[in-house]
Amino acid sequence: MPLRAPENTLASFALALASGADGIELDVHMTADGAVVVHHDPELADGTALALVTLTELPEHEPSAARGIPTLQHVCGLVKGRAELFVEIKGLGIEREVVAVLSSYDGPFAIHSFDHDLIRRVSTMNTGFRLGILVDDVETDVRAAMAAAGALDAWPHYPLVTPSMVGAVHSEGGRVLPWTVNDPEEARRLVALGVDGICTDDVTILR
């Protein structure tokens, strides 16, 4: 709920759950000591690369309590299966560590990324995890990109969603999950097209 609480924080996720969210979308990176942490950017508040500091050093670089950085395990402990976890891998080459955390999570989840090669690598691990690709280019052949990555779900930027895209993804048994929609009229258009979910900054706007 980034419009109501800082994004990628436990406070924001708790508010989304309380507001009736069916899913929680989050971004992950990895610290220098191998902790999978939930944070949007590769840099911390003071500009330090997140991958260069340890978990215990994080508060030195991003000290605000409101911007507390949880681990992926912390979020799993908060959600506890009450909503589907949608984990976007942003850190480079951290898929094995993310898979290790999620392997012990008892609840619905899926992994997605702009890095389609990373998703392909996860698909070769034979984990059985549901995978998705993010798309922000109108020229992308979504069905072909999904097949190449071993993905079932497509996460297009919402203006890219068309009836043909929805039909192509559904024909492969996948889901269309557009991002990031904060306008009710646009949400209605997408629902009419048959999308399977809508990523928003405030659940209450669309409710």
Helix axis angle, 95-102 relative to 116-123, nearest 10°?
50
Does the 1-113 domain belong in CATH 3.20.20.190? yes
Helices within the chain (DSSP H only):
10-18, 58-61, 72-79, 95-102, 116-123, 142-149, 163-171, 184-193, 203-206
pTM for this prediction = 0.95
Q: Domain residue spans in the chain? A: 1-113, 133-207
Query: Residues 39-94: pLDDT tens digits?
Result: 999 999 899 999 999 999 998 898 764 568 999 999 999 999 999 999 999 999 99
Q: E strands within 19-149? A: 23-30, 36-38, 84-89, 109-113, 130-135
Inter-residue contact 91 to 30 (CB < 8 Å): yes
pLDDT at 67: 62
Q: List, for residues 172-186, the tens digit of each pLDDT value.
A: 999 999 999 999 999
Tokens 């912390």, located at residue: 74
